[in-house]
Structure 1
Amino acid sequence: MQLPSLITACQQQLQQQRSSLCYHNLAHTKGVVAAVAALHIAPEILIPAAYIHDLGYEQSAQGHEAIAIAWGQKQLPKWGFKQKQIQEICLAIEATQLGQKPKTILGAYLKDADISYSLSSHFWSRGELLRTEWQLENQRQYSDTAWLKLQYHFLEELLFFSPWGQLYLEPLRRYYLQQITERLQKMNI
């Protein structure tokens, strides 16, 4: 397995993305990679999956996971990944789809790591990056109130599937739900 070559290829591809992808970009990918690396769980699966998981965004936000999976299935054998590893990587990437329940525990960890990028001390600024990306990419504009309500609904429905997510990310989810509630109350909403 030639992980450094895979990392270089993914980083090069992400650096060439259009600038309107200001949330789903190399910084986001590196954040997800850092989260899975810190877990010390199956790094030979989770680190490649984290690097690949959003590569499809350049082509389409809709179905980008399937695009990333197809890329991985084609490219990973070139770097010495075994078929079983490729299958596990692809299942983990598949789990990152919105509304998708992970089929494997590694998928659960990747899905939670993907969300952890925004559930950090950078919650508000990264949320604004996503809002900007949606405006630039999809011409979807949100008032401050509408954006807060959308974030509230997302966090209200958010589930964590790994023990790590349930233990460490769930308190952050509740904290930011409370923060949003307080902001909406200040706006008399």
Structure 2
Amino acid sequence: MQLHALITACQQILNKQRSSLCYHNLAHTKGVVAAVGALDIAAEILVPAAYIHDLGYEQSAQGHEAIAIAWAEKQLPKWEFKQKQIQEICLAIEATQLGQQPKTNLGAYLKDADISYSLSSHFWSRGDLLRTEWQLENQRQYSHTAWLQLQYHFLEQLLFFSPWGQLYLEPLRRYYLQQIAERLQKMNI
């Protein structure tokens, strides 16, 4: 397995993305990679999956996971990844789909690591980046109030699937949910 070659290829692809992808970009990918790296669990699967999981955004936000999976299936054999590894990487990437229940434990960890990028001390600024990306990419504009309501609804529905997510990310989810509720209350909404 030639992990360094894969990382270099992914970084080159992500460096060439449109500037309008201001959330789903190399910084986001590196954040997800850092999260899975800190877990010290199956790095040979989770690190490649983290690097690949959003590569499809350059082509389309809709179905970007399937695009990333197709890329992985085609490209990973050249870097000496075994078929079982490729299969596990693809299942982990598949788990990052919104509303998708992970089929594997590693998928659960990647899904939680993916969302951990926004559930950090940078919650508000990264939310603004996502809002800007949606505006630039999809012409979807949200007022401040509508964005807060959307974030509230998202966090209200959010589930964590790994023990790590349940232990460390769930308190952050509740914290930011409370912060949004307080902001909306101050606005009399």
Counterparts of 2:3 and 2:87, CA distance in 1 = 16
Distance 1:60 1:179 in 2: 32
Look up the SS of the partner of 2:159 in the other structure: coil
Quick one: distance in 2 between partners of 1:187 and 1:25?
33
Report 1:1-189 matches (<5 A). 1-189=1-189
- Helix, strand or coil at the partner of 2:98: coil
Structure 1, residues 89-134: CA drift from partner, whole Å, max 9, x if none?
A: 0000000000000000000000000000000000000000000000
- 1:180 positional shift: 0.1
User: 1:169-188: per-residue Cα shift (whole Å, max 9, x none)?
Assistant: 00000000000000001111
Query: Amino acid of the residue matched to residue 68 of structure 2?
Result: A
Partner Cα distance (1:111, 1:148) in 2: 23
Partner Cα separation in structure 2 for residue 128 and residue 81 of structure 1: 37
Q: What secondary structure is seen at the aligned counterpart in 1 of 2:153?
A: helix
Q: Which ranges of structure 1 fall in alignment gaps of 5 or more residues?
A: none
Mapped to 2, the partners of 1:113 and 1:14 lie a distance apart of 19
Distance 1:80 1:41 in 2: 21
Shift of 1:157: 0.2
Helix, strand or coil: the match of 1:97?
A: coil
Count of residues in correspondence between the two structures: 189
Segments ≥4 residues shifted beyond 2 Å: none
How much does 1:3 deviate? 0.2
Please give the per-residue CA displacement for 1:39-65, whole angstroms capped at 9, x wherever unaligned.
000000000000000000000000000
What is the Cα deviation at residue 11 of structure 1?
Answer: 0.1
In 2: Cα distance, 1:106 partner to 1:80 partner = 21
1:133-182 Cα distance to aligned partner (Å, 9 max, x none):
00000000000000000000000000000000000000000000000000
Runs of 5+ unmatched residues, structure 2:
none
Q: Distance in 1 between matches of 2:177 and 2:36?
A: 24
* CA distance in 2 between partners of 1:93 and 1:150 (Å): 25
Distance 2:184 2:153 in 1: 13
Give TM-score scaled by structure 1 length. Answer: 1.00
Q: 3-state DSSP class of the match of 1:29?
A: helix
